[in-house]
């Protein structure tokens, strides 16, 4: 199955989760995610041989324990995987897999090109890396990121691509650092600098122009003249917030200004601020302000 640079769809996966006895609860299909594909599902016991796909697969066992056998050219392994345990299938290799017990899992596919790009950002001399196959690895940070991706896929919000990209960068960086063939640089990390004033002006202009629709992390990074990973680091140094949270705060601030205009309905305000619908605006607005848009509007009129 070919891998491209556009939206990552289920037809680019191994097809493991599309068996008849698998019940998919949520996936990123249709959400516009480009660097990864995520699905959460119930899997019945099975045994299958799968062809290689270019991209990497990380499987989190939400339930368990469950016995898993992985047969591959580079290594055969059989382990009892505990809840929170991982199975990592590097891209570009065919393998056999057997699951001996029913299980809730989360599958995360990461584009190889995306992981290679992150590896190059972490260590410029590394243009590509291979992930190491794992069966039963326990990694608390990896588990937290994958569970957060499951929540993002479950939300079915069009704006989830921005948040997912942030999580994808963190996931790829951690995989490169802890579960790959990449060389480890033990030298002290130099203090990171933020964006220059000119870069920040361009970034804010790009964000402000896109608040009523999807804010592309790649476009914002390009406005600063930086790669996505380098930009995310510099942006957080400058603002104290990751990009997705900064954008949400900016949308809430815009909503506050628009709510002062009595001619605009709350539905119209939600649309103008890039929220999927009124309920989406209300939920985010309450998180940031402690009140609802309607209550904020009434208080502003007093």
In sequence order, which residues have a C-beta less than 8 Å from that of residue 191 and are 6 or more positions away? none
The Cα–Cα gap between 238 and 195 comes to: 6
| pLDDT range class, residue 281, cuts 50, 70, 90 | very high
| pLDDT range class, residue 272, cuts 50, 70, 90 | very high
Query: Which pTM was predicted?
Result: 0.70
In sequence order, which residues have a C-beta less than 8 Å from that of residue 144 and are 6 or more positions away? none
Three-state DSSP class for residue 186: coil
| pLDDT range class, residue 51, cuts 50, 70, 90 | very high
Q: Report the range out of 44-53, 123-132, 157-166, 176-185 with the highest average pLDDT.
A: 44-53
Q: Which residue has the higher pLDDT, 188 or 177?
A: 177
| pLDDT range class, residue 96, cuts 50, 70, 90 | very high
User: How high does pLDDT run on average in the chain?
Assistant: 88
By C-alpha distance, which of 3, 5, 2, 1 is closest to 218?
Answer: 5
Q: 31-45, 92-106, 199-213: which has the minimum mean pLDDT?
A: 199-213
Give percent of the chain with pLDDT exceeding 90. Answer: 57
pLDDT at 89 over 50: yes
| pLDDT range class, residue 127, cuts 50, 70, 90 | confident
- pLDDT per position as a tens digit, 128-173: 789 999 999 999 889 999 999 999 999 876 567 888 888 999 999 9
Stretch 222-234: mean pLDDT:
87
pLDDT at 12 over 60: yes
**What is the predicted pLDDT for the residue at 194?**
87
Helix residue ranges per DSSP H, the chain: 112-122, 140-155, 160-178, 197-210, 217-224, 228-239, 243-259, 266-272, 278-289, 293-301
Task: Name the helix (H) or strand (E) containing 85.
Answer: strand 85-89
**What is the predicted pLDDT for the residue at 159?**
63
pLDDT at 60 over 90: yes
**What is the predicted pLDDT for the residue at 8?**
94
Q: Report the range out of 70-79, 90-99, 184-193 with the highest average pLDDT.
A: 90-99
Residue with tokens 């990009």, as numbered in its chain: 243
- pLDDT per position as a tens digit, 16-35: 988 899 999 999 998 889 99
pLDDT at 191 over 60: no
Q: Which long-range contacts (CB under 8 A, 24 or more apart) does 185-191 make?
A: 185/123
**What is the predicted pLDDT for the residue at 158?**
59
Stretch 269-298: mean pLDDT:
92
The Cα–Cα gap between 134 and 226 comes to: 33
**What is the predicted pLDDT for the residue at 186?**
46
């Amino acid at each position: 199955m070919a891998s491209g640079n556009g939206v990552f769809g289920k037809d680019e996966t191994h097809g493991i989760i599309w068996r008849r006895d698998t019940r998919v609860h949520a996936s990123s299909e249709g959400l516009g995610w480009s660097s990864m594909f995520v699905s959460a599902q119930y899997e019945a016991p099975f045994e299958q041989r799968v062809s290689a796909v270019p991209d990497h697969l990380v499987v989190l066992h939400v339930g368990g324990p469950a016995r898993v056998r992985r047969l591959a050219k580079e290594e055969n392994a059989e382990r009892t995987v505990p809840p929170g345990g991982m199975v990592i299938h590097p891209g570009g290799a065919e393998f056999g897999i057997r699951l001996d017990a029913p299980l809730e899992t989360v599958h995360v596919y990461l584009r190889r090109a995306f992981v290679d790009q992150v590896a190059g950002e972490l260590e410029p001399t590394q243009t590509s890396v291979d992930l190491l196959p794992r069966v039963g690895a326990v990694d608390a940070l990896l588990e937290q990121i994958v569970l957060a991706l499951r929540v993002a896929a479950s939300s079915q919000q069009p704006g989830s691509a921005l948040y997912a990209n942030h999580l994808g960068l963190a996931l790829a960086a951690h995989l490169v650092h802890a579960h790959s063939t990449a060389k480890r640089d033990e030298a002290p990390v130099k203090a990171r600098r933020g964006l220059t004033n000119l870069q920040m002006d361009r970034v804010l202009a790009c964000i402000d122009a896109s608040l009523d629709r999807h804010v592309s992390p790649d476009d914002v990074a390009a406005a600063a003249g930086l790669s996505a990973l380098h930009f995310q680091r510099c942006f957080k140094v400058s603002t104290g917030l990751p990009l997705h949270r900064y954008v949400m705060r900016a949308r809430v601030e815009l909503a506050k200004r628009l709510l002062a205009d009595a001619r605009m309905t709350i539905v119209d305000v939600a649309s103008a601020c890039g929220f999927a619908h009124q309920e989406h605006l209300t939920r985010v607005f309450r998180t940031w302000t402690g009140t609802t848009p309607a209550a904020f509007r009434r208080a502003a009129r007093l």
